[in-house]
Amino acid sequence: MIKKNKIQWIAFLLALDLIAAAGVTVQAASMQDLKDVEVVYMSDTENHHAADQVSNSFVSPISEEVLEVQKKAVEIQKKERFEEELLASIIFCEAGNQSYEGQVAVGAVVMNRIRSEGFPDSMEEVIYQPGQFVPATTGWLDRIRATSGYTETAMQAAKDAIKGVNPIGECLFFDQGGQGYQIGAHYFH
């Protein structure tokens, strides 16, 4: 009986052969890239040599510069995702029961603080700055982050705030104290 992963590997090799036969160039940094894929789909050692049998003729090497750019792009994507999730989490904690506009407004406060000289210049430092966001000091924020417990609405509000959507101007603070620009239960000042 043929194992499922062996069938997937054979299908992968056949797809590569079809791509090569069609005259399409497959870019890979090295044959090691193909071997890495092979490890995902195969577990029995007798077929590990199959990757060595794939023709190098259709693999065009990628320059070190391109690899470096790709590596930096991946790092930037990871940082962006980290910040989106962090911002979505604090938005959920602080304004999860508010309108979408109110959620974006909380995100805008964080973004305004990052740009302000009076606050740290990273999202994580702004959010975890002592005495600023209660959920960060009580551990609630960390619990939401650990479980990705924010809502899709909070995530979209975070993405929009990061992109520059800002319904509150240059406001650096919000509370329920009754002074400032009101959106829902929060006053921004």
Q: What is the pLDDT of residue 177?
A: 86
Chain-centre distance for alpha carbon 112: 21
Q: What is the pLDDT of residue 40?
A: 37
pLDDT along the chain (189 residues), means of 10: 50 54 48 43 44 47 80 93 98 98 98 97 97 97 96 98 98 93 96
pTM: 0.67
Q: What is the pLDDT of residue 78?
A: 95
Q: How many CB atoms lie within 10 A of CB 120?
A: 15
Interatomic CA distance for residues 84 and 157, integer angstroms: 9
Q: What is the pLDDT of residue 34?
A: 45
Q: What is the pLDDT of residue 25?
A: 47
